[in-house]
């Protein structure tokens, strides 16, 4: 973003930033505010010093003025002497101050840009008060929130929560899959997941939003949940649906303005992962492959593309990978071979 304001970014970077700006009008407003700050800094530097606002060159010059001592990263005596001379040299001090402004402004812009990309705009008083919990392959975690709510994370997932909820809302961000047990409160509990948002007061629900999947799925175990897509160029919340216990809402990533609802689903089929149960119910093999990758860290491939759409139904509880593979092969009349961490399925001869 700093290079964009300075007119130094590549054509590809410029197109990417402008596409991001066009997604929401408030981003254009923010850009204009930042541009005013940047322009004021350049004018303050003066015509003869405008080269100081070349971001890359300025950072390079600042780096060259510092002599770091090995692993300890201490400033050398030569640098200290240079600093003393700078105190007696007004022009040198002005250079250092401008360089510091460049560093602070560039860093600040990067933070703001990143926060807006993730959709999280925190209060100016505490802009970095976020907590993140991440699970890896085969890992799960339970997170207790300060309002008494509980979040259980499935494999390869993450949840981002503020250290303290605000006075009016309780908002968290989730990637992957998580089960929420929301403590009743007058403040709405809002879960943002990529292109969807769920809003409740007190309930239990499972939200699956792996980016590798073609849809975002929400299943309600208890209570009611308002499930809404985030649609439109302004990022406004489009019309959604209210789901009750036993309902499942599915939002396609290709059609973000439409939610498909199914009633009276078997909730346990979607929450069994909390008890280490792996449940497939007429599931396409390409979906099975992605799930096994997240659970066992193994890559599954198919020798023929048609095999990816074969359907598989089975339930496993704390089973080792080889038993899962054996059941898949026997159930579908397939054979497989394993090379390192890659499994290739092919039709039986």
In which region does residue 282 sit, left (phi positive, over 0), alpha (psi from -120 to 50) or beta (all else)? left
Q: Looking at the predicted structure, is the pLDDT value of residue 269 above 50?
A: yes
| Beta strand ranges found along the chain (DSSP E) | 68-69, 74-75, 130-134, 141-144, 150-153, 158-162, 170-181, 189-193, 196-200, 204-209, 215-222, 224-229, 241-244, 248-252, 259-262, 277-284, 299-302, 311-317, 334-339, 342-347
Q: Looking at the predicted structure, is the pLDDT value of residue 314 above 80?
A: yes
Vertex 190, ends 221 and 210: CA angle to 5°? 70
CB 334 within 8 A of CB 348: yes
- Each residue's pLDDT tens digit, 299-308: 999 999 999 9
In which region does residue 180 sit, left (phi positive, over 0), alpha (psi from -120 to 50) or beta (all else)? beta
Q: Looking at the predicted structure, is the pLDDT value of residue 225 above 60?
A: yes
- What the block records as the tokens of 211 is 């980016």
Q: Looking at the predicted structure, is the pLDDT value of residue 148 above 50?
A: yes
Entry pTM:
0.61
Question: What percent of the chain has a predicted confidence (pLDDT) above 70?
Answer: 64
Least confident of 94-103, 296-305, 326-335: 94-103
CB 313 within 8 A of CB 280: yes
Q: Looking at the predicted structure, is the pLDDT value of residue 78 above 70?
A: no
Least confident of 56-60, 73-77, 92-96, 277-281: 73-77
- Each residue's pLDDT tens digit, 24-35: 555 666 666 666
Q: Looking at the predicted structure, is the pLDDT value of residue 279 above 80?
A: yes
Length of the chain in terms of residues written: 349
Using the 8-state DSSP alphabet, how is residue 273 labeled? G
Q: How far apart are CA 270 and CA 65, in angstroms?
A: 59
Provide the pLDDT for residue 67: 44
Residue-range domains of the chain with CATH: 2-117 (no CATH), 130-269 (2.60.120.1440), 276-347 (3.55.50.30)
Q: How far apart are CA 222 and CA 200, in angstroms?
A: 11
Provide the pLDDT for residue 70: 40
pLDDT class of 171 with cuts at 50, 70, 90: very high
Q: Looking at the predicted structure, is the pLDDT value of residue 2 above 60?
A: yes
Q: How far apart are CA 312 and CA 284, in angstroms?
A: 6
- What the block records as the tokens of 317 is 């509880």
Nearest to 6 by CA among 67, 64, 52, 49: 52
């Amino acid at each position: 973003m700093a290079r964009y304001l300075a007119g130094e970014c590549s054509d590809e970077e410029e197109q990417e930033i402008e596409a991001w700006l066009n997604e929401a009008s408030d981003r254009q407003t923010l850009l204009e505010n930042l541009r005013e700050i940047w322009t004021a800094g350049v004018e303050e530097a003066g015509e003869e010093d405008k080269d100081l606002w070349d971001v890359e060159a300025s950072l390079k010059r600042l780096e060259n003025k510092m002599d770091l001592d090995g692993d300890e990263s201490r400033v050398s005596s030569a640098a200290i002497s240079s600093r003393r001379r700078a105190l007696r040299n007004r022009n040198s001090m002005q250079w250092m101050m401008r360089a510091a402004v460049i560093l602070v402004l560039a860093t600040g812009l990067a933070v703001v840009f990143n926060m807006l990309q993730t959709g999280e705009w925190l209060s100016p008083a505490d802009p970095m008060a976020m907590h993140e919990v991440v699970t890896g392959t085969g890992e799960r975690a339970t997170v207790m929130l300060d309002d008494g709510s509980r979040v259980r994370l499935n494999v390869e997932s993450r949840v981002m929560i503020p250290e303290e909820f605000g006075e009016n809302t309780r908002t968290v961000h989730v990637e992957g899959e998580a089960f929420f047990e929301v403590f009743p409160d007058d403040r709405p509990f809002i879960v943002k997941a990529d292109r969807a948002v769920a809003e409740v007061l007190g309930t239990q629900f499972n939200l699956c939003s792996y980016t590798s999947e073609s849809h975002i799925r929400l299943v309600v175990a208890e209570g009611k949940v308002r499930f809404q897509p985030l649609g439109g160029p302004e990022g406004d919340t489009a019309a959604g649906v209210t789901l009750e216990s036993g309902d499942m809402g599915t939002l396609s990533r290709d059609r973000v303005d439409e939610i498909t609802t199914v009633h009276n689903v078997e909730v346990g089929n979607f929450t069994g992962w909390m008890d280490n149960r792996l449940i497939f119910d007429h599931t396409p093999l390409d979906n099975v492959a992605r799930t096994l990758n997240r659970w066992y860290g193994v890559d599954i491939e198919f020798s023929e593309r048609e095999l990816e759409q074969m359907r598989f139904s089975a339930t496993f509880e704390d089973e080792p990978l080889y038993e899962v593979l054996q059941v898949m092969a026997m159930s579908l009349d397939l054979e497989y071979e394993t090379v390192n961490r890659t499994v290739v399925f092919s039709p039986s001869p």
